[in-house]
Amino acid sequence: MPSSPTYDVIVAGLGAMGSATAYQLARRGRRVLGLDRFTPPHTRGSTHGHTRIIRTAYWDDPSYVPLVGRAYESWRELEAASGQRLLFPAGALYLGGTDSALVAGARTSVQLHGIPYEELSAAGVIRHAPALQPTPDTVAIWEPEAGLVLPELAVTSFLSLAARSGADIHVEEPLLQWTPTGDGVAVTTPRGTYHADRLVLAVGPWMSQLVPDLGVALTVERQVMHWFRPKATVPGLAPDRVPSFMWEYEPGHIWYSTPDMGDGLKAGIHHDGDTTAPDTVQRDVSDSDIARVSSLIERFIPDANPAPVASAVCLYTDTPDGHFVIDSHPRHPAVLIASPCSGHGFKFAPLIGEIMADLAVDGHTSIDLSLFRIARSGRPLPTAH
């Protein structure tokens, strides 16, 4: 290997955001090196578990709605380029009590942006989702155009398209150190040192290890997903009986589910997880992890067997206000930071790839990033954490 290969851009981290960025850069004819410490897609970061929700009824903050529209376009382009079906429109429910911040937020987003929706009472919920058992005071917003996207297949698609467009993809090769060099960056790995004009850091839960002085406090949060099968005596848990949902089951506490795509219905609690670190996180799933979600299954989806058939630990990388970090490094403009998580970033992955490629190549993008700058005004998301 030459001692000092030179690239236009090095992308460190090839999960959702890094693989998308490597693809976008390579298709624009840039010399790209993609590095990952593992072999993506893998189960140690934030991008596993078979399904993710893509939703426009953005209860968290209506400013994300136009971005979701752009993300849908990017998903369709990725499907066309890869020949893979990645996006499954199946509808989603946003549920809670009459004073639920989640339901109010979803209503605000759909009304503000003219998104098709239906306002439901508990009886209306049962019509849309006969396997759910809402309490009589439950209200909901039904968004028929929400859908599912497939995280592992997306990463595989991004990486194979990137390699096909000429990117060098090095797996099992961690970035150990990055050093600014004039107007570029030197990157050291166990295999050598590489130089590039730009470095994109998309290392997910490992970000604060590589950028301890980012200027936004990132917290890694342990999240557990579980898969459930129907009880033997019921008609099943297909999407027309339990669509995707996000449900504020107690004020400020949200659980979610994505439909059975052949491996069981997936459910988990959004946030409320232990603060952890990616190298030391408890990867085993405990009885109390299971009990927390099984009790919600017993309460709200009695047709499901409350003993999960599988469980997996995943990681959120949270900012204090729940908004993403997409910016250049505060002191080193050749280093770009892509940290869109706080538990809601995956739906934007192909669009983030375009944005990071714009920033790396042109120094700017047409997307308004003011919410995601390191030095932002700090408007918090309403019900996070």
Ligand X SMILES: Cc1cc2nc3c(=O)[nH]c(=O)nc-3n(C[C@H](O)[C@H](O)[C@H](O)COP(=O)(O)OP(=O)(O)OC[C@H]3O[C@@H](n4cnc5c(N)ncnc54)[C@H](O)[C@@H]3O)c2cc1C
Q: Quick one: 150 or 341, whose CB is closer to ligand X? A: 341
Query: Rounded to 5 degrees, what are φ and ψ at 199?
Result: -125, 125
Beta bridge partner(s), residue 147: 54, 89
Task: Identify residues 82-141 at the interface with ligand X (CB under 6 A).
Answer: none
270 is catalytic: yes
Answer for which of 21, 45, 147, 351 binds ligand X (CB under 6 A) is: 45
Pairing relationship of beta strands 265-270 and 219-228 according to DSSP bridges: antiparallel
Provide, rounded to whole angstroms, the least separation between the CB of residue 137 and ligand X.
26
Indicate which single residue of 157, 223, 257, 305 sits in contact with ligand X (rule: CB under 6 A): 223
| Cα 297 from Cα 319, distance rounded (Å) | 29
> CB of 19: closest distance to ligand X in angstroms?
7
The residue from 27, 30, 37, 48 that is catalytic is 48
Q: Which is nearer to ligand X, 334 or 341 (CB)?
A: 341
* Contact (CB, 8 A) for 382 and 105: yes
Out of 184, 259, 268, 353, point to the residue binding ligand X (CB under 6 A).
Answer: 268
Residue 11 as a binder of ligand X (CB under 6 A): the answer is no
Of 30, 52, 128, 198, which residue is the catalytic one? 52
Instruction: By CB under 6 A, name the one of 184, 322, 340, 353 that touches ligand X.
Output: 340
Antiparallel, parallel or unpaired: β 52-54 and 244-250: unpaired
# residues contacting ligand X (CB under 6 A) = 39
Q: CB atoms < 10 A from the CB of 338, how many?
A: 32
In the complex with ligand X, the residue whose CB is nearer, 28 or 271, is: 271
At residue 208, the 3 state secondary structure works out as: helix
Q: Residue 53 interacts with ligand X (CB under 6 A)? A: yes
Q: Which of the residues 314, 317, 319, 323 is marked catalytic? A: 314
Comparison of 45 and 91: residue with beta carbon closer to ligand X: 45
Contact by Cβ (8 Å): 68, 58: yes
Q: How many CA atoms lie within 13 A of 367 on its CB side?
A: 25
- Helix%, strand%, coil% for the chain, nearest 5: 30, 30, 45
Residue with tokens 């959004």: 270
Binding site for ligand X (CB under 6 A): 12-18, 35-38, 40, 45-47, 49, 52-53, 174-175, 202-206, 210, 223, 225, 268, 314-316, 340-341, 343-347
